[in-house]
Amino acid sequence: MKPPRDKSHRFVRARAVMVALSGFSMVKVLLAVMANSRPHTRPFALGLLKLLAPGPRVSFVYKFNGCKRIGFLRWKYIDSDVQVALEFVTGDWYRLSRIPQPDFIVDGGANTGLFTLAATARWPNVPIIAFEPVPENVEAIKNHIKANHIQKHVRIEPAALAGSDGNKRFFLRELCQGGFFENLPAAGTIDVRCRVLSQYFPSDPNMLKLIKLDIEGGEIEVLDELFQNGGLKKTIIVMELHTPPATREWIEELARRIGYRIEFFQFGPVTAHCQLTSPDL
Protein backbone atom coordinates (compact mmCIF):
# COMPACT_ATOMS: atom_id res chain seq x y z
CA MET A 1 0.00 0.00 0.00
CA LYS A 2 1.46 3.35 -1.01
CA PRO A 3 1.24 6.13 1.60
CA PRO A 4 -0.95 9.08 0.60
CA ARG A 5 0.85 12.08 -0.91
CA ASP A 6 -1.16 15.00 0.51
CA LYS A 7 0.65 17.59 2.63
CA SER A 8 -0.78 16.54 5.99
CA HIS A 9 0.38 12.95 5.51
CA ARG A 10 3.80 14.16 4.38
CA PHE A 11 4.16 16.02 7.67
CA VAL A 12 3.00 12.99 9.67
CA ARG A 13 5.45 10.72 7.86
CA ALA A 14 8.36 13.11 8.35
CA ARG A 15 7.56 13.50 12.04
CA ALA A 16 7.34 9.71 12.47
CA VAL A 17 10.78 9.30 10.89
CA MET A 18 12.25 11.93 13.22
CA VAL A 19 10.81 10.15 16.27
CA ALA A 20 11.97 6.67 15.23
CA LEU A 21 15.46 7.52 13.94
CA SER A 22 18.29 9.90 14.75
CA GLY A 23 21.52 11.25 13.32
CA PHE A 24 22.54 10.28 9.78
CA SER A 25 19.95 7.48 9.72
CA MET A 26 17.17 10.01 10.17
CA VAL A 27 18.62 12.28 7.47
CA LYS A 28 18.99 9.44 4.97
CA VAL A 29 15.46 8.13 5.43
CA LEU A 30 13.99 11.64 5.29
CA LEU A 31 15.79 12.24 1.99
CA ALA A 32 14.37 8.98 0.61
CA VAL A 33 10.88 10.01 1.76
CA MET A 34 11.33 13.44 0.15
CA ALA A 35 12.42 11.90 -3.14
CA ASN A 36 9.44 9.55 -3.09
CA SER A 37 6.74 12.06 -2.15
CA ARG A 38 7.88 15.35 -3.69
CA PRO A 39 8.78 14.95 -7.38
CA HIS A 40 10.15 18.47 -7.73
CA THR A 41 12.76 17.82 -5.02
CA ARG A 42 13.67 14.33 -6.22
CA PRO A 43 16.94 15.15 -8.06
CA PHE A 44 18.23 17.17 -5.11
CA ALA A 45 17.16 14.60 -2.50
CA LEU A 46 18.62 11.62 -4.36
CA GLY A 47 21.81 13.50 -5.18
CA LEU A 48 22.42 14.34 -1.53
CA LEU A 49 21.47 10.81 -0.48
CA LYS A 50 24.03 9.40 -2.91
CA LEU A 51 26.72 11.43 -1.16
CA LEU A 52 25.69 9.97 2.22
CA ALA A 53 25.22 6.41 0.90
CA PRO A 54 27.42 5.82 -2.16
CA GLY A 55 27.14 2.01 -2.19
CA PRO A 56 24.36 -0.24 -3.57
CA ARG A 57 22.25 0.19 -0.42
CA VAL A 58 21.25 2.93 2.00
CA SER A 59 21.78 1.65 5.52
CA PHE A 60 20.03 3.07 8.57
CA VAL A 61 19.78 2.23 12.26
CA TYR A 62 16.54 2.29 14.22
CA LYS A 63 14.98 0.82 17.34
CA PHE A 64 11.94 -1.39 17.69
CA ASN A 65 10.72 -2.40 21.14
CA GLY A 66 13.95 -0.88 22.49
CA CYS A 67 16.05 -3.22 20.34
CA LYS A 68 18.58 -1.86 17.84
CA ARG A 69 17.96 -2.87 14.24
CA ILE A 70 19.86 -2.24 11.01
CA GLY A 71 17.80 -1.71 7.88
CA PHE A 72 18.60 -1.21 4.20
CA LEU A 73 17.00 0.60 1.29
CA ARG A 74 18.12 -0.73 -2.07
CA TRP A 75 18.96 1.98 -4.60
CA LYS A 76 17.38 -0.07 -7.36
CA TYR A 77 14.06 -0.15 -5.47
CA ILE A 78 14.39 2.97 -3.35
CA ASP A 79 10.74 4.05 -3.67
CA SER A 80 9.11 0.73 -2.79
CA ASP A 81 11.66 0.03 -0.06
CA VAL A 82 11.09 3.35 1.69
CA GLN A 83 7.32 2.77 1.61
CA VAL A 84 7.77 -0.59 3.36
CA ALA A 85 10.25 0.94 5.81
CA LEU A 86 7.72 3.60 6.81
CA GLU A 87 5.29 0.85 7.78
CA PHE A 88 7.67 -1.10 9.99
CA VAL A 89 10.33 1.34 11.17
CA THR A 90 8.14 4.24 12.28
CA GLY A 91 5.30 2.33 13.90
CA ASP A 92 3.84 -0.92 15.20
CA TRP A 93 2.09 -1.61 11.88
CA TYR A 94 0.69 -5.03 12.87
CA ARG A 95 0.17 -4.16 16.55
CA LEU A 96 2.70 -6.67 17.85
CA SER A 97 2.66 -4.87 21.21
CA ARG A 98 -0.88 -6.18 21.76
CA ILE A 99 -0.13 -9.81 20.95
CA PRO A 100 0.95 -12.36 23.59
CA GLN A 101 4.28 -14.07 22.99
CA PRO A 102 3.83 -16.75 20.33
CA ASP A 103 5.67 -20.06 20.10
CA PHE A 104 5.95 -19.96 16.31
CA ILE A 105 5.75 -17.14 13.74
CA VAL A 106 5.02 -17.10 10.01
CA ASP A 107 5.98 -14.06 7.94
CA GLY A 108 3.90 -14.58 4.82
CA GLY A 109 4.92 -12.19 2.05
CA ALA A 110 8.11 -11.20 3.85
CA ASN A 111 9.26 -8.73 1.15
CA THR A 112 12.66 -7.52 2.47
CA GLY A 113 12.18 -8.94 5.98
CA LEU A 114 11.27 -5.90 8.08
CA PHE A 115 8.35 -7.67 9.80
CA THR A 116 10.76 -10.46 10.72
CA LEU A 117 13.14 -7.86 12.21
CA ALA A 118 10.27 -6.38 14.24
CA ALA A 119 9.10 -9.79 15.46
CA THR A 120 12.58 -10.88 16.54
CA ALA A 121 13.06 -7.56 18.34
CA ARG A 122 9.93 -8.22 20.37
CA TRP A 123 10.38 -12.00 20.82
CA PRO A 124 14.11 -12.75 20.35
CA ASN A 125 13.97 -16.53 20.76
CA VAL A 126 10.80 -17.42 18.86
CA PRO A 127 11.39 -19.31 15.58
CA ILE A 128 10.18 -17.61 12.38
CA ILE A 129 9.61 -18.90 8.86
CA ALA A 130 9.72 -16.11 6.26
CA PHE A 131 8.01 -16.87 2.93
CA GLU A 132 9.03 -14.77 -0.07
CA PRO A 133 9.00 -15.85 -3.75
CA VAL A 134 10.93 -13.00 -5.45
CA PRO A 135 14.69 -13.80 -5.60
CA GLU A 136 15.85 -10.19 -5.15
CA ASN A 137 13.66 -9.87 -2.07
CA VAL A 138 14.99 -13.15 -0.69
CA GLU A 139 18.50 -11.74 -1.02
CA ALA A 140 17.39 -8.63 0.88
CA ILE A 141 15.96 -10.78 3.69
CA LYS A 142 19.28 -12.63 3.94
CA ASN A 143 21.16 -9.33 4.20
CA HIS A 144 18.82 -8.06 6.92
CA ILE A 145 19.09 -11.30 8.89
CA LYS A 146 22.88 -11.35 8.66
CA ALA A 147 23.30 -7.67 9.58
CA ASN A 148 21.10 -8.12 12.66
CA HIS A 149 22.62 -11.47 13.72
CA ILE A 150 19.34 -13.38 13.88
CA GLN A 151 20.22 -16.30 11.57
CA LYS A 152 19.69 -18.76 14.41
CA HIS A 153 15.97 -18.02 14.70
CA VAL A 154 14.88 -17.31 11.10
CA ARG A 155 14.28 -19.78 8.32
CA ILE A 156 13.76 -18.39 4.83
CA GLU A 157 11.43 -20.29 2.54
CA PRO A 158 11.89 -18.97 -1.04
CA ALA A 159 8.32 -19.67 -2.03
CA ALA A 160 4.87 -18.10 -2.18
CA LEU A 161 2.09 -19.21 0.13
CA ALA A 162 -0.82 -20.59 -1.87
CA GLY A 163 -3.78 -22.95 -1.74
CA SER A 164 -1.77 -25.90 -3.08
CA ASP A 165 1.84 -26.95 -3.61
CA GLY A 166 3.34 -26.57 -7.06
CA ASN A 167 4.50 -23.77 -9.33
CA LYS A 168 2.66 -20.71 -10.58
CA ARG A 169 3.28 -17.67 -12.72
CA PHE A 170 4.02 -14.62 -10.57
CA PHE A 171 3.50 -11.13 -11.98
CA LEU A 172 6.25 -8.65 -11.10
CA ARG A 173 5.17 -5.12 -10.30
CA GLU A 174 6.75 -3.00 -7.64
CA LEU A 175 8.63 -5.43 -5.44
CA CYS A 176 6.13 -4.93 -2.63
CA GLN A 177 3.08 -5.41 -4.88
CA GLY A 178 3.66 -8.47 -7.10
CA GLY A 179 1.17 -11.32 -7.17
CA PHE A 180 -0.67 -14.00 -9.08
CA PHE A 181 -3.39 -11.83 -10.61
CA GLU A 182 -3.23 -11.08 -14.34
CA ASN A 183 -5.63 -8.11 -14.40
CA LEU A 184 -3.06 -5.47 -13.36
CA PRO A 185 -0.11 -4.03 -15.32
CA ALA A 186 3.11 -5.95 -14.77
CA ALA A 187 6.76 -5.43 -15.63
CA GLY A 188 7.30 -9.14 -16.22
CA THR A 189 6.66 -12.61 -14.86
CA ILE A 190 8.59 -15.38 -13.16
CA ASP A 191 7.73 -18.93 -12.16
CA VAL A 192 7.69 -19.37 -8.39
CA ARG A 193 7.38 -22.27 -5.97
CA CYS A 194 4.11 -22.39 -4.05
CA ARG A 195 3.62 -24.01 -0.67
CA VAL A 196 0.65 -24.78 1.57
CA LEU A 197 1.03 -23.15 4.98
CA SER A 198 -0.35 -25.93 7.16
CA GLN A 199 2.54 -28.32 6.41
CA TYR A 200 4.94 -25.99 8.24
CA PHE A 201 3.01 -25.83 11.51
CA PRO A 202 4.46 -27.32 14.70
CA SER A 203 3.10 -30.75 15.63
CA ASP A 204 1.83 -29.54 19.00
CA PRO A 205 -1.57 -27.88 18.35
CA ASN A 206 -1.38 -26.08 21.70
CA MET A 207 1.58 -23.95 20.62
CA LEU A 208 0.56 -20.35 20.01
CA LYS A 209 0.92 -19.56 16.31
CA LEU A 210 1.25 -16.02 14.94
CA ILE A 211 0.70 -15.70 11.18
CA LYS A 212 1.30 -12.46 9.30
CA LEU A 213 -0.05 -12.31 5.75
CA ASP A 214 0.68 -9.60 3.20
CA ILE A 215 0.39 -11.58 -0.02
CA GLU A 216 -1.35 -9.20 -2.42
CA GLY A 217 -4.72 -10.91 -2.70
CA GLY A 218 -3.48 -14.49 -2.22
CA GLU A 219 -4.83 -14.52 1.33
CA ILE A 220 -8.19 -15.95 0.18
CA GLU A 221 -6.84 -19.23 -1.21
CA VAL A 222 -4.29 -19.56 1.62
CA LEU A 223 -6.89 -19.19 4.38
CA ASP A 224 -9.51 -21.27 2.56
CA GLU A 225 -7.03 -24.14 2.45
CA LEU A 226 -5.78 -23.61 6.00
CA PHE A 227 -9.28 -23.69 7.49
CA GLN A 228 -10.93 -26.21 5.20
CA ASN A 229 -11.45 -28.55 8.17
CA GLY A 230 -12.43 -25.85 10.68
CA GLY A 231 -10.55 -23.59 13.03
CA LEU A 232 -7.15 -24.14 14.60
CA LYS A 233 -6.27 -23.86 18.27
CA LYS A 234 -4.24 -20.95 19.60
CA THR A 235 -3.84 -19.02 16.37
CA ILE A 236 -3.59 -15.30 15.65
CA ILE A 237 -3.53 -13.96 12.10
CA VAL A 238 -2.62 -10.36 11.33
CA MET A 239 -3.05 -9.48 7.71
CA GLU A 240 -3.31 -6.92 4.98
CA LEU A 241 -6.55 -7.64 3.17
CA HIS A 242 -6.73 -6.53 -0.45
CA THR A 243 -9.77 -5.02 -2.22
CA PRO A 244 -11.56 -4.85 1.15
CA PRO A 245 -14.97 -3.68 -0.09
CA ALA A 246 -15.18 -6.91 -2.09
CA THR A 247 -13.41 -9.24 0.36
CA ARG A 248 -14.75 -8.01 3.69
CA GLU A 249 -17.84 -10.19 3.45
CA TRP A 250 -15.66 -13.21 2.69
CA ILE A 251 -13.31 -12.68 5.65
CA GLU A 252 -16.18 -12.02 8.05
CA GLU A 253 -17.97 -15.18 6.89
CA LEU A 254 -14.75 -17.17 7.33
CA ALA A 255 -14.39 -15.83 10.88
CA ARG A 256 -17.99 -16.84 11.69
CA ARG A 257 -17.51 -20.32 10.23
CA ILE A 258 -14.40 -21.13 12.24
CA GLY A 259 -15.49 -19.26 15.37
CA TYR A 260 -12.68 -16.67 15.30
CA ARG A 261 -12.95 -13.08 16.45
CA ILE A 262 -12.20 -10.50 13.78
CA GLU A 263 -11.13 -6.91 14.29
CA PHE A 264 -10.39 -4.34 11.59
CA PHE A 265 -7.88 -1.72 12.69
CA GLN A 266 -7.45 0.03 9.34
CA PHE A 267 -9.94 0.09 6.48
CA GLY A 268 -9.53 1.82 3.13
CA PRO A 269 -10.64 1.44 -0.48
CA VAL A 270 -7.49 -0.46 -1.54
CA THR A 271 -6.35 -2.33 1.57
CA ALA A 272 -7.50 -3.07 5.10
CA HIS A 273 -5.68 -4.48 8.12
CA CYS A 274 -7.37 -6.94 10.41
CA GLN A 275 -6.70 -9.54 13.06
CA LEU A 276 -8.27 -12.98 13.36
CA THR A 277 -8.03 -14.59 16.79
CA SER A 278 -8.98 -18.15 17.74
CA PRO A 279 -11.68 -18.46 20.45
CA ASP A 280 -9.31 -20.05 23.00
CA LEU A 281 -7.26 -16.85 23.26
pLDDT tens digits, 148-157: 999 999 999 9
pLDDT above 70 (res 174)? no
pLDDT above 80 (res 25)? yes
Q: State the Cα–Cα distance between residues 179 and 198, nearest whole angstrom.
A: 21
Confidence of residue 19 (pLDDT cuts 50, 70, 90): confident
Average pLDDT over residues 5-12: 57
pLDDT tens track for 30-54? 999 999 989 999 999 999 999 999 9
For the chain, the structural domain boundaries read 1-91, 92-281
Confidence of residue 121 (pLDDT cuts 50, 70, 90): very high
Give Cβ neighbours of residue 132 (< 8 Å, ≥ 6 apart): 109, 110, 111, 113, 138, 141, 156, 157, 158, 159, 160
pLDDT above 50 (res 104)? yes
At residue 73, the 3 state secondary structure works out as strand
Q: 178 with 170: CB under 8 angstroms?
A: yes
* The CATH number, out of the four listed (3.40.50.720, 3.40.50.150, 3.10.450.350, 1.10.3720.10), of the domain defined by the range 92-281: 3.40.50.150
Q: State the Cα–Cα distance between residues 250 and 241, nearest whole angstrom.
A: 11
Q: What's the chain's average pLDDT? A: 89
Confidence of residue 8 (pLDDT cuts 50, 70, 90): low
pLDDT above 80 (res 2)? no
The confidence score (pLDDT) of residue 67 equals 93
Give Cβ neighbours of residue 112 (< 8 Å, ≥ 6 apart): 72, 74, 81, 84, 137, 140, 141, 144
pLDDT tens track for 247-272? 889 999 999 999 999 999 888 888 88
At residue 251, the 3 state secondary structure works out as helix
Q: State the Cα–Cα distance between residues 45 and 41, nearest whole angstrom.
A: 6
Strand partners, 194: 160, 166
The confidence score (pLDDT) of residue 123 equals 97
85/1: higher pLDDT: 85
pLDDT above 90 (res 175)? no
